[in-house]
Amino acid sequence: MVKETEIKLRVSRDTLAALREHPLLKKRNKSGWEQRELFNQYFDTPQRDLAQAKVALRLRRDADQFIQTLKTRGHSVAGLSERNEWDWFLDKAKLDLKKLDDSCWPAALAELDKKQLKPIFTTDFVRQRAEIAWGRGKSKVVIEAALDLGKVLAGDQEEEICELELELRQGEPEALLELASELAADLALMPCDISKAERGYRLFDANSYALSLPAPELHTETSLDDSVAALAWHLLGSSQRLAEQYRFNGHWRLLNDWLEQLIDLRALLSSLGQAAPRASSSELRQGLDALLHDWRPRVHAGQQDEAARKLAPAQFAAELADTRWGQFSLNTSRWLLARGWTVARNNRGNRQGAAVLGNWLPTLLGEEGRTLQLIRYQQQPEDLAEQLPRIERLLVWLRLARGVLDVAEVDRLYGELSKLSELANRAIDPESLAARQAQAHTVASLKAWRALTR
């Protein structure tokens, strides 16, 4: 068994060709490009038991070699993935079920009759690969760069494979993101943690692609720094999965959800005070603000206008064809991996970062809630939109961390505050103004709101 650490980057055919000739890869290419044609058959039961257990079983033909591979889902976030992998070289193109023993086979599938395993889809592609030397100070780093072009085939459904895979052979995972970020400076690279196996399952069953990532597990004793890391990784990873699925099927709801992840990430960053000095997140906030500047009005327009909704898939395709989304995603991943908000902060910031969430969060929500002054917006509802950044800061923490609060009816508070946010985003007319007044009164009268803002 080996641990596979890699990052997948979706690209266009033109970008794939440009990568082979990119000066950065040419300069550090120590092996030259090797081309191979790979034929891959994936197996599962009719009930897709392996997919449900987050396991992929593959039989690959590479020239005259047959390789049986079992992969676990492992840990995957924001395009950077780590998973366990077992490989067996076989004499013929037939699964060897005896290899799938307790040393690798998941306990959740212990009772499965392996004779039920059948071919369900294929991923056939041409791979050009090279070893790239990537120095990090005195540390030696070796990365395998693979340019893959081909197809996923499931019955009469197919999807193109066109991607760059960077797999760590030696060194630290940060090196993968560093190399990818430098390439993304002038090439459109889309970090994407959907594997070729997941693409096959998605073609086989359109509902099989899981959009949601597991919610971060936060506790009252979790430090603020650890909470920020967990929440930001979650929001970034969720935004990337939503971007991939919206690119794939163009369903309007997915674009709404993608925008919400970015709004939440921006609100999270602006809520941290001295625990994240502004200078430490300046570049990241600028990138977010640029994305929100362009996409918030488009999504709001699409809420009311079908023509705007129809334009959005082409606009999003143009976004992905530019370098902005890839650069933002990769640079944010690097910032999170390095815990960039902790760099060069003062002693007070260090104390805030070390504070436990059970103490820090009620203080933040109380300060933000009192400053919101809901009584004012019951009288002047036309001005409520000016408080959207503050409402969004309240909402991101209530959505993702309200479980650590010892406050009655906090779920209801989150729901009612979400309604107030929706009204603040709505165009002003007599009906919406009356609704803002009523909703501000509703929020202000909640037990949870009074407990937090007393």
Residues 6 or more apart whose CB falls under 8 angstroms from that of 34 comprise 128, 129, 130
Q: Report pLDDT digits (tens) over 237-278.
A: 999 999 999 999 999 999 999 999 999 999 999 999 999 999
Mean pLDDT in residue range 327-334: 95
Residue in this structure with the two tokens 């203080």, named with its chain if needed: 363
Whether the CB-CB separation of 327 and 185 falls below 8 Å is answered with: yes
Q: Report pLDDT digits (tens) over 303-327.
A: 989 999 999 999 999 999 999 999 9
Give pLDDT, residue 76. 60
CATH superfamily, with its number, for domain 1-210: Hypothetical Protein Pfu-838710-001 (2.40.320.10)
Whether the CB-CB separation of 302 and 252 falls below 8 Å is answered with: yes
Copy the structure tokens of residue 126: 């041409």
Q: Give the separation between CA 162 and CA 267, rounded to whole angstroms.
A: 34
The DSSP code for 201 is H
Give pLDDT, residue 134. 81
Copy the structure tokens of residue 311: 């334009």
Does residue 77 carry a pLDDT above 60?
no
Copy the structure tokens of residue 192: 């994407």
Q: Which of 388, 416, 379 is nearest to 263 (CA)?
A: 388
DSSP readout, 132-159? Answer: EE--BTTB--EEEEEEEEEEEEETTEEE
Residue in this structure with the two tokens 């936060």, named with its chain if needed: 218
Phi, psi of 121 (to 5 degrees): -160, 165
pTM exceeds 0.85, yes or no: yes
Q: Which of 147, 123, 117, 146 is nearest to 60 (CA)?
A: 123
How many percent of the chain have pLDDT more than 90? Answer: 83
Copy the structure tokens of residue 84: 């366990």
Give pLDDT, residue 1. 65
Mean pLDDT in residue range 37-41: 97
Residues 6 or more apart whose CB falls under 8 angstroms from that of 252 comprise 302, 309, 312
Coil, helix or strand at residue 45: coil
Does residue 2 carry a pLDDT above 80?
no
Q: Domain limits of the chain?
A: 1-210, 356-453
Coil, helix or strand at residue 220: coil
Mean pLDDT in residue range 14-19: 95
Mean pLDDT in residue range 103-121: 93
Phi, psi of 360 (to 5 degrees): -70, -45
Residues 6 or more apart whose CB falls under 8 angstroms from that of 55 comprise 70, 71, 72, 73, 106, 109
